[in-house]
Structures are given as structure tokens and as C-alpha cells.
Structure 1
Amino acid sequence: MTFNEPAQDRDEATTPELDTALDSQPTAQASVVASVPRVVLVGPPGAGKSTIGRRIASALNLPIVDSDLLIEQSEGKACGEIFSEVGEERFREIEAGCVARALATGGVVSLGGGAILTASTRQLLQRHTVVWIDVSPEEGIRRTANETSRPVLNADDPAQHYRDLLATREPFYREVADYRVRTDQRPPQRVVAEILGIIESSEE
């Protein structure tokens, strides 16, 4: 999927913040009409994907599907606990299955920060409108400073670890994203308004 750089310019010029969503669009697969998300949110930990997704879903009167919640419902325990018990490789396998389920639903979909590390997930995202909810390293570090539920962020030097995590994942966010919206120092309602505009323009 081609990353749409003009969306980044719009973000920086208008200073909006987070949130995204879309409604159901019919698509035929094996003679079955299924719903697809109107928008999919990706981005690093602390960017605000879940908060934004809920706000946009509410604004559009659509369901919100969070892949992390699907994982927890499927496995009966918190994502952090699963990650610690089975390791990242197995966790990503479980996650990929839940992401595929999420992408077969209508509404707004919010993916876990590391979901884009899996090649099969990146391939699936080529079929969808994807918004990269981004945050600066400094702000992301501040927002996740007291996080204890994300083993992927555990490190002796959390700040440097977060920067390294962003450096590793940014190429994948760019690969899958159609639009990019930054959330630093922005009220959520302005971000929601921008993304609603993105949704509207993408459907024209």
C-alpha cells in the first residue's frame, strides 16, 4: 500500500489529533458478502489508537474492534501475560489470527502496535484504508513511562528502548499506511475531525 505523504502535510498544518473509523462496505468472498472496516488504525504504543478509535466509532455510530481485546478474549488472559508466557513469536501468531478476524468486521479497527511486524497482516492491510496514528519519541516515552502491562516495553533503559522500537517499526507503518496523523499536543476532537475528513475523502 502506498503511503500518502500529503496526509502528513495536512496533519502538520492543521494540528488535529487522534481517532479514525469507517463503516461497513460489502465485499464478496466465496459467495459470501462480508463487512470490511471503514478505517484501520495502526501506530506505536502510547499514540492513542484505542482512545481515538472509540471516539471515531462513537461519532459514526459504528462498532469498534480492538485486536488486543480479541486476543485477550480468545486466550482468556491479558496480552502482557500471554506475551510473557509464550514469547513474542507465538504471540505474533495468535495476534495475526485475531487481526484477520478483526479485518473481516465492519466499523473501526484498532491494531496492536506490533501487529504490522507480521507479513501476513501487512498483506491484508493492503485491502483497507489505513491511518497511522503517530507520536514523537519524546511524547511516546512520556505516555508509556509508567506502563507495566506491556512486556515489549520492558528494558533497563525504557526511553532508548522506545526509540529503538519506533526505528524498527516505522518502515512497516509507512508501508501499510495511506495517511499519517500525529497526536502530539493536540486535542482529540481535532484529530477526530481530521480523520473523519480523511474517511470522507477516501470514499469519494
Structure 2
Amino acid sequence: MVTATRPVAVLVGPPGSGKSTIGAALAATLGVDFHDTDAAIESQQGCSISDIFVLEGEPAFRALERAEVARAVGAESGVVALGGGAPMEPATQEVLGDHVVVFLDVGIADAAKRVGFDGSRPLLAINPRAAWTKLMNERRPTYERVATHRIDTAGRSVDDVVADIVERLGASS
């Protein structure tokens, strides 16, 4: 069992990269808690992120997200998964500065299979494939800049990706 006073790893990446699935499996492997900031926001607000976007707008969601990410990286001791847009915020980039950040990279073919592009993701609601590609092109430099490690998840099993992350975490300690 790993004991820490800060996250063992913070996962970042685009929609469909596997942050929630891989994060939960990684936490189980390491014997630590898993915290998904999007799930925490939905629980706190009592509605989905899509509903927050529609009812309150993206700026309101981003404010909630900044606060939850800052809280999580300061208080959670396991694996923390951030929403895809969270690292784009300068305040979030600042709080990630001294943490182990794992960028889960993925191509559109695998992301489409995982996400389904069903419209439940507000920034992908219109022309989801084109929107995902545009988001990824805009976000990739930031994901790469904040990351301690980049892990390609395309075509790989959850267990394989988790093993790769565990190996990299061991090399970082």
C-alpha cells in the first residue's frame, strides 16, 4: 500500500483517453483512493457537467473546476483524474507544477470508441469528431508541458497502461 500526503499521480488528457477508467484501476493497483474531479463537481452540484454548461455556462463550470482541482491536488492522497479542459486554466497549471502528472495520450479512433461521441460532452456536442480534433490540437501542447510522463493509451488494455504508469512512477521516486 502506498501512503502519501499528496496525490500519487494526477491524470490529464482529452476526452476518451481513459482518465476515469485507468485512474480507478491505477488506484486499485497502488492501494490508494481514486478521485475524479468531474465526478466530484457533479456530486457537489447535484447535476451533470452538461447541465452545468447549459444552465450556468462554461465560465461558471470552469470556476467550479478550478476550485475542485486546487482542493483535490492539495488534499487527496491517491490518484486524481482531471477533466480534459482543467489543465488549460493557468491557475490549474500552477497548482500542478510540483505534482507527478501523467498525460494519457490517445488518437481520435480510440477516443471515439471510448467516448462514443454521443453528445453527453458539451464541448463535443456539435460535429464531435471535428470538435475533438480541434480540442486536442489546441490542448496537446499544454498537456505535454504540464506532464511528468506521457503514456500512449491507443490500442492498449487498461492493465497494460496501468503497468506502464506504475513502472514510470517507480522510476520517478
User: Smaller-chain TM-score range?
Assistant: over 0.9
The match for 1:100 is: 70
Aligned residues of 1:116 and 1:172 also touching (Cα < 8 A): yes
Counterparts of 1:108-119 in structure 2, within 5 Å, are 108-119=79-90
- Work out which of the residue numbers 137, 147, 151 in structure 1 matches 2:108: 137
TM-score normalised to structure 2 length = 0.94
Q: Which structure: greater strand fraction?
A: 1
1:40 counterpart letter in structure 2:
V
Q: CA deviation at 1:24?
A: 4.3
Counterparts of 1:159-198 in structure 2, within 5 Å, are 159-198=129-168
Aligned residues of 1:49 and 1:133 also touching (Cα < 8 A): yes
Counterparts of 1:54-93 in structure 2, within 5 Å, are 54-93=24-63
Q: CA deviation at 1:100?
A: 0.9
Q: CA deviation at 1:139?
A: 2.2
Percentage identity across paired residues of the two chains: 39
TM-score normalised to structure 1 length = 0.80
Larger radius of gyration: 1
Query: Where in structure 1 are there 5+ consecutive unaligned residues?
Result: 1-21, 26-34
Q: CA deviation at 1:23?
A: 4.4
Query: Where in structure 2 are there 5+ consecutive unaligned residues?
Result: none
Distance 2:7 2:152 in 1: 21
Distance 1:69 1:142 in 2: 21
Q: Which structure: greater helix fraction?
A: 2
The match for 1:38 is: 8
Q: Which has the higher contact order (CA 8 A, sep 6+)?
A: 1
Distance 1:176 1:94 in 2: 21
Q: CA deviation at 1:130?
A: 0.3
Question: Greater shift after overlay, 115-124 or 77-86?
Answer: 77-86
Q: In the alignment, is residue 200 of structure 1 matched against residue 159 of structure 2?
A: no
2:100 counterpart letter in structure 1:
T
Displacement over 3 Å in runs of 4+ = 22-25
Q: CA deviation at 1:146?
A: 4.0
Q: CA deviation at 1:91?
A: 0.8
Length, aligned pairs only: 172
Q: CA deviation at 1:135?
A: 0.3
Counterparts in 2 of 1:40 and 1:150: CA distance versus 1, 3 Å: same
| RMSD, aligned CA | 1.4
Distance 2:138 2:3 in 1: 32
2:17 counterpart letter in structure 1:
A
